[in-house]
Structure 1
Amino acid sequence: MPSQPSLRPLQNFWHQLSLHRRGAIAASIPTLCLLLSLAAFTWLDYKIKASQDYINYKEAILSESDELLVGLLNAETGMRGYRLTGRKDFLEPYTMAVGQVPKALERLKTLTQDNPQKEAEIAALSSLVQQRLKFLEVRLLVPITQSPDAAQYEESKVAMDQVRRAIAKFEADEQKDLEANRIGLQRQQALTTRVLWISAGVSAIGSLFAIYLFSQLEKELKLREQRLSESKTLIQSITTNVVDGILTLNAAGNIETFNPAGLKMFGYEGEDLYDQPISLLLTNPTLSRGDNHYWQDPTTYTGARLQATGFHKDGKPFPIEVTVSDIPLEDRLIVIIRDMTEQQQAKADLRDRAQELAILNSKLKTTNTILAARNQELNQFAYIASHDLKAPLRAIANLSEWLEEDLADQLPAENKQQMDLLRGRVHRMEALINGLLAYSRAGRDEVAIESVNVADLLEEIIDLLAPPDTFKIAIAPNMPTFCARRLLLRQVFSNLIDNAIKHHPTQNGHIQISVIEQQQAYEFSVADDGIGIEPQYHNKIFTIFQTLEARDKKESTGVGLSIVKKIVEAEGGTIRVESQAHQGATFYFTWLKSSLR
């Protein structure tokens, strides 16, 4: 047999491979055949689909060119019928063609946009078609009574013949290409059939060869199973390096092996526990045998995790977790023991922390209840205080008006001015009280969260403030829509815009409202070109009742910006101002995308 020596190196190489690799090779043979067949079929199927798509593409082009020619013929026929009879119903084909022909041209341009040559042909054809339509449109405007001369008819005929020849040439080229692709498709389909048969044959041969290899592997495995030795040495080598205690029990339920970690855990030497019952590890050696509890049959706990108490050789107890493995090992059992001292200590610490948290939570609830009551008392106090303070002020204002009315003829001009000054101070005091009340409530009232379109909100505010027509307010186009407390956001914008208008030195001011989106918030800005604010007053303006101008010059309570700051900070944001004297001011504030409360 001349071929036998040539196979020997291959056989030697095969037997040198591990069983895992030989099994993988045997299993991969039919899989590889299947993958190759699938790859070939997929590739051929892709080619067939590509050819079919191309044929459909060509047929679509031919269909559109036919529709284009039919449309032109309909337009020509309709125009002739109209010119001959004078009846406008003959123009219906022409009217329909005027709408269809440009669409057909556009579809042809779309279909051929990736082919420069065809795109050029369609462009030339489009020029001819447009000229023809233009000619028909001009003819439509010529009175019916006016007959065209022979030169015009000849020109019309020549133009139409050019269009027909161009379409005929275009369709002939496309038809030729279409027939070539159909022949190619038939060849690919035939090739696919042949490849499928060849793939089926190769897969069958590969499967038979894999079956043969698996039978050889099965024989070798049986030989190796007969040569396997006892697993005792292997188990000991594995268990030596683990941190848990691992022991094996013999058929009698006594300890056969115990790893070093387990011996150290219980304080025994290597031979102390040999052939001893496992109950010895769960027995307090300082007690009598009758006072201890023993495991009678460990196999009843197979697969379970049991919490128990282990006893050190010196009698010291410690918590353990015992697991009897359900891994079959002839007539032996594997028992895994884990020292749970650290875990139980961690659980105890966790319970202590939980109790502390519960106490803190209870105190927090109590504090919240007290705080709610205090807030209620504060609200009531603010209402009563404002009411009781406003009542005398109204009385003073009314009394001054009565005195002025009663002494109208006797009251000197200076005293009238003093009366006006008195009422102005009264109104200012009332405004300060109202501002103080608003400041005390800012950020404490419950306001519902709703979807806010900031652009619409700003339009409402500006419309309500009604600035002079010469005052320009520009809103950036990228204003967001998000969920927020609409009433509070409205109050912040309203105060800032109102201040910019009220404190501007002219009626021709300009305000720019912008926004920058940050990771967790939006930063809004309100910028004006007014008198500006000197840097040393940037913090002062947010303090309640603080104004930069005397109240006799510009009536103001000095509460607005302090309320704005309080609202913004209550909603988790920040507010700042950038300004120089006589250079305008820009107020920046952030508003969280998701409310904290």
Structure 2
Amino acid sequence: MSEETIKEVFDIIVNMEVVKAQKEQPQFDEEDASASIVDALNIVSVALEDRQVEIDNLKETNKELLLSLQEVSRYQSALDISSIVSIGDKDGNIMYANDMFCQISGYTKEEVLGKNHNILKSGEHKRVFWDGMWQIISQGNIWHNEIMNLNKEGIGYWVDTTIVPFFNSSGKIVSYLSMGHDITKRKIQEEEAKEYHVQLESINKNLEQFAHTVSHDLKSPLNNAKGLVSIIESSLGDDQPAEVQEYLILLKKTNDKMRSLIDGILQYSKASGREATLARIALEPFIQEVADTLTAKGQAKLVFKNALPEISYNETVLKQVISNLMSNAIKFNDKEQCVIEFSSRMDDHYYHLSVTDNGPGVRKEDQENMFKLFNKVNQDKTKDSSGVGLATVKKIVNEAGGNIWVKSTLGVGTTFTFTVRIKPKVHW
């Protein structure tokens, strides 16, 4: 009923009351009666306006509630599509299971509703695991971990699971929502990686043992050969023919080269599969100390482009890395003076340490193969190289959790950059 209609009704009432009053009470005050009715009309009008505001607010609330329900429905649909979802009562009995839960477990909804979640237990986890879970969720906290379940056929599968407790108005837990993702493939890959790692460690140990055995067996005849060459030189005295002297020098060089190769193989085999004792190393004095053992004074000029950091590393293997890089720079230098520049920078996880020389440089096509075992990039036949040093450096750096790469320009020089973890690995 509109406000206009109500006013019409009240006008009729007023007229009727006026007529009645005139008949019954000749002295009736018409103005007082009209004022009273108008006041009543105003009260009714205000009440109607308040009621209309309530109705409008209720409509708006219903609209927001409907939108919220639609949003919750979309969330549930997305969750059902992407996750394994179940709801259990306070004792773990299943009250709800979505389609993905049934698909992964192999059970129908009829088979699981009312049953306890224990029907999925695989025996993979000890009792302390489950006791810990119940202790956390029964206190109203969210629990997250990886669970191995068994499907209906007895085949294991892994679920990355989150359990959320729900409360009633009294604050008591009435149910638990379990959400999870199938991570079986990832767990299989992790297990395969562990097995591969064990196999690799065994291979490395065998390789190191093999290298020791071979080096011992090879060094013995090499020592004998070196001794025989010395005996021949002594026997011939100073009257050696020039051709014989040339052959003897060649024998000595071949012997030394073979010994160098064997030592390189030993270093390479020792560069993996071992525990490393870490030490805090201030790089600048460490590098200077290594340089003093490698070169005669003034043979190579060291330049520190910026302040080098203090790192955690194994001293023995770091000495191998630095000495190999410096030795190559000195050995293959073609300038009047060898200059070796050291610099560093850091990112969130690594120090980047660079060693730059002013040597002849390396061709682009050779740079990718520089770190391969027994690969000899140097084209100068007068420079002896076993092809083991850079391969050893790469193995050391990689097993410490870092990486190494090279940039070079012909005629200008070469830069080796390797990374060192700011937070080091415990084992090499």
Question: Would the TM-score normalized by the shorter structure come out above 0.5?
Answer: yes
1:464, distance to aligned residue in structure 2 (A):
2.0
1:553, distance to aligned residue in structure 2 (A):
0.9
1:522, distance to aligned residue in structure 2 (A):
1.3
- The two structures have a TM-score, normalised by structure 1, of 0.41
1:425, distance to aligned residue in structure 2 (A):
0.8
Q: Is the 8 A contact 1:491 1:564 kept in 2?
A: yes
1:12-411 superposed matches below 5 A:
305-308=90-93, 317-318=113-114, 326=170, 343=178, 357=187, 368-408=197-237, 411=240
- 1:483 — aligned with what? 312
State whether structure 2 residue 267 is matched by structure 1 residue 471: no
- 2:327 — aligned with what? 498
Report sequence identity in percent: 29
Q: Is the 8 A contact 2:306 2:344 kept in 1?
A: no
Deviation string, structure 1 residues 340-391 (Cα, Å, up to 9, x no partner): 7x73xx57x87x959x95x877776665554443332222111010111121
1:549, distance to aligned residue in structure 2 (A):
4.2
Q: Which blocks of at least 5 consecutive residues in structure 2 are unaligned? A: 1-61, 70-88, 97-109, 117-164
1:449, distance to aligned residue in structure 2 (A):
1.5
Q: Mark the CA change 1:484 to 1:322 in structure 2 (over 3 Å): closer, same or farther.
A: closer
Larger CA Rg, structure 1 vs 2: 1
Give me the whole-angstrom Cα distance separating, in 1, the residues matched to 2:220 and 2:213.
11
Supply the AA of the counterpart residue of 1:508.
Q
- 1:462 — aligned with what? 291
Deviation string, structure 1 residues 54-101 (Cα, Å, up to 9, x no partner): xxxxxxxxxxxxxxxxxxxxxxxxxxxxxxxxxxxxxxxxxxxxxxxx
CA RMSD in angstroms comes to 3.8
Match of 1:544, SS state, is coil
State whether structure 2 residue 391 is matched by structure 1 residue 595: no
Give me the whole-angstrom Cα distance separating, in 2, the residues matched to 1:549 and 1:367.
36
- 1:446 — aligned with what? 275
Q: Mark the CA change 1:317 to 1:576 in structure 2 (over 3 Å): closer, same or farther.
A: closer
State whether structure 2 residue 357 is matched by structure 1 residue 528: yes
- 2:412 — aligned with what? 583
Q: Mark the CA change 1:310 to 1:445 in structure 2 (over 3 Å): closer, same or farther.
A: closer
Supply the AA of the counterpart residue of 2:396.
I
Q: Mark the CA change 1:443 to 1:551 in structure 2 (over 3 Å): closer, same or farther.
A: farther
Higher relative strand content? 2
Give me the whole-angstrom Cα distance separating, in 1, the residues matched to 2:391 and 2:111.
72
Higher relative helix content? 1
Give me the whole-angstrom Cα distance separating, in 1, the residues matched to 2:252 and 2:316.
32
Q: Which has the higher contact order (CA 8 A, sep 6+)?
A: 2
The number of residue pairs the alignment matches comes to 282
Match of 2:342, SS state, is strand
1:513, distance to aligned residue in structure 2 (A):
1.0
1:430, distance to aligned residue in structure 2 (A):
1.4
Q: Mark the CA change 1:409 to 1:317 in structure 2 (over 3 Å): closer, same or farther.
A: closer
Match of 2:114, SS state, is strand
1:510, distance to aligned residue in structure 2 (A):
2.0
Give me the whole-angstrom Cα distance separating, in 1, the residues matched to 2:378 and 2:230.
29
Give me the whole-angstrom Cα distance separating, in 2, the residues matched to 1:478 and 1:322.
57
Supply the AA of the counterpart residue of 1:587.
F
Q: Is the 8 A contact 2:204 2:272 kept in 1?
A: no
Q: Mark the CA change 1:457 to 1:376 in structure 2 (over 3 Å): closer, same or farther.
A: same
- 2:382 — aligned with what? 553
Supply the AA of the counterpart residue of 2:114.
F
Give me the whole-angstrom Cα distance separating, in 2, the residues matched to 1:535 and 1:402.
47
